[in-house]
């Protein structure tokens, strides 16, 4: 098969690495990602958030299948443009991807269809409404409606302590967007659960836990994700009933979208929280998670190409996954996330890392004159896989040592101590 991928990060590197096992892969990207380039039959350089630029770049080419990956690309309507060109597409249309790029739409949808896991929310357009809502709800999460790369939420007790501090953030959102979303704060442990969908049915993937905070022991500012781990069909702090409930929520959401006339074809990613009262929906995303995509795609058994084709054709096939454990740690530029270095040379010894058992995924980097440079965001995803979480964590940690340059990583992801903290937290909440 000739498959076209739109995107250029570590998530897309992970996708392409799987597709290249049995397909010819082509890719549209804004700058040359050296990890992706060597896996592709051909690359096209273009503004991937401009549908016309994407279709112009591939003029004269034919493909059996296309998959648009990043959130902003989906929000721009690139899937729609590819469908218009007569290409089979396994990623959601702009209307279906609205579940991610418009958080108020997502909340209203779950409310309309009485989908389990919904939480109290209110859209506010004035500071008076915002203050009244915060006082009524107590502890809250304050969010913009659009895409934020995982960095837009501010939560009581985590990011601000006093109402006045929360109101400062509300003020900035109202200045920018004229509207803000305020939700009740829920307590528990977050996890990611993704599924493939053909618009009617779902094929769930293993649950993964991401780590948003920049520094050791869950301190520091939020990031796009410093790393993640998985332990097969269930995470150590979850119960089977949590997984079953999350699956039900995903299926009910797919049903609701089909009923609304915006069927979802692609990867639906639920960000959930396990609480004392069951699963709560934090958000939905319309694509593979990053870094969690690296965990699940490493465990996928069989052909990703065939699964994506089955999505495009509306006849989803089952997806099977290994029960191995995985750990991903992100190497990031010095100064990340607030003032990351850019355009500095970095190196990584892929061959040595592979020999040691680690997989390397190239993220926000670009190639120039046969050298690799920092793009200003997360740099390399390092994946370890093993029969146990300890083994996977050791491989990922050792793999990080093969990166050279002004980069660093969060060392505690996937460690016994941090995972036990999650287990103890959930035990306290349930009791």
* pLDDT, tens digit, 9 for 90 and up, residues 50-92: 999 999 999 999 999 999 999 999 999 999 999 999 999 999 9
Report the pLDDT value the prediction gives residue 145, as an integer from 0 to 100: 87
* pLDDT tens figures, 381-422: 999 999 999 999 999 999 999 999 999 999 999 999 999 999
d(CA 161, CA 52): 46
> Which CATH code, of 3.20.20.70, 3.40.50.150, 3.90.400.10, 3.40.50.20, is assigned to 2-93?
3.40.50.20
Q: What span, in angstroms and rounded, lies between the C-alpha atoms of 5 and 29?
A: 9
- Summarised one tens digit per residue, pLDDT across range 216-234 is 999 998 899 999 999 999 9
CATH 3.30.70.3400 fits 189-422, yes or no: no
Q: In the chain, where does the domain assigned CATH 3.30.470.20 lie? A: 189-422
Run of H or E residues at 112: helix 103-112
What does the pLDDT read at residue 158? Answer: 81
> HSE (CB half, 13 Å, CA atoms) of 420?
4
pLDDT number for residue 150: 66
pTM: 0.94
Return residue ranges of the chain for CATH 3.30.1490.20.
120-184
The predicted pLDDT at position 207 comes to: 98
pLDDT tens column, 103-121: 999 999 999 999 999 999 9
* 380 secondary structure, DSSP code: E
Residue 206: the pLDDT is 98
- What is the rounded average pLDDT of the residues 25-38? 97
As assigned by CATH, the class of the 120-184 domain is alpha beta
User: How far from 300 is each of 35, 206, 269, 373, 408, CA to CA, in Å?
Assistant: 20, 9, 16, 31, 29
Mean pLDDT of the chain: 96
Residue ranges of the chain that CATH labels 3.40.50.20: 2-93
């Amino acid at each position: 098969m000739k498959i076209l991928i739109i995107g250029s990060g570590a998530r897309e590197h992970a996708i392409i690495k799987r597709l290249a096992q049995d397909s010819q892969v082509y890719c549209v990207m804004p700058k040359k990602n050296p990890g992706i380039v060597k896996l592709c039959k051909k690359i096209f350089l273009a503004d991937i958030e401009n549908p016309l630029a994407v279709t112009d770049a591939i003029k004269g080419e034919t493909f059996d299948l296309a998959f648009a990956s990043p959130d902003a690309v989906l929000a721009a309507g690139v899937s729609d443009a590819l469908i218009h060109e007569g290409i089979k597409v396994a990623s959601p249309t702009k209307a279906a991807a609205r579940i991610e790029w418009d958080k108020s739409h997502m909340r209203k949808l779950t409310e309309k269809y009485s989908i389990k896991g919904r939480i109290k929310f209110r859209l506010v357009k004035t500071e008076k409404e915002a203050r009244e809502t915060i006082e009524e709800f107590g502890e809250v999460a304050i969010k913009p409606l659009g895409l934020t790369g995982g960095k837009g939420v501010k939560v009581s007790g985590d990011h601000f302590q006093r109402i006045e501090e929360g109101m400062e953030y509300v003020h900035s959102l109202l200045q920018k967007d004229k509207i803000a979303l305020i939700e009740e704060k829920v307590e528990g442990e977050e996890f990611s659960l993704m599924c493939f969908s053909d618009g009617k049915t779902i094929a769930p993937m293993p649950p993964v836990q991401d780590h948003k905070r920049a520094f050791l022991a869950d301190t520091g500012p939020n990031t796009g994700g410093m790393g993640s781990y998985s332990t097969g069909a269930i995470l150590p702090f979850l119960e089977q009933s949590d997984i079953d409930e999350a699956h039900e929520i995903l299926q009910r959401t797919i049903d609701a979208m089909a009923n609304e006339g915006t069927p979802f074809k692609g990867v639906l990613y639920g960000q959930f929280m396990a609480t004392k009262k069951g699963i709560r929906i934090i958000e939905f995303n319309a694509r593979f998670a990053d870094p969690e995509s690296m965990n699940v795609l490493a465990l996928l058994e069989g052909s990703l190409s065939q699964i994506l084709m089955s999505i495009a054709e509306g006849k989803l096939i089952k997806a099977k996954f290994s029960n191995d454990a995985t750990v991903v740690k992100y190497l990031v530029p010095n100064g990340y996330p607030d003032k990351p270095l850019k355009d500095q040379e970095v190196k990584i010894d892929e061959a040595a890392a592979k020999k040691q058992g680690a997989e390397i995924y190239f993220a926000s980097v670009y190639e120039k004159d046969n050298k690799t440079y920092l793009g200003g965001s997360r740099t390399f995803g390092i994946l370890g896989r093993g029969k146990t979480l300890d083994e996977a964590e050791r491989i990922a940690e050792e793999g990080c040592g093969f990166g050279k340059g002004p980069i660093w990583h969060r060392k505690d992801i996937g460690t016994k101590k941090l995972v036990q903290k999650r287990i103890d937290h959930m035990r306290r909440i349930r009791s």
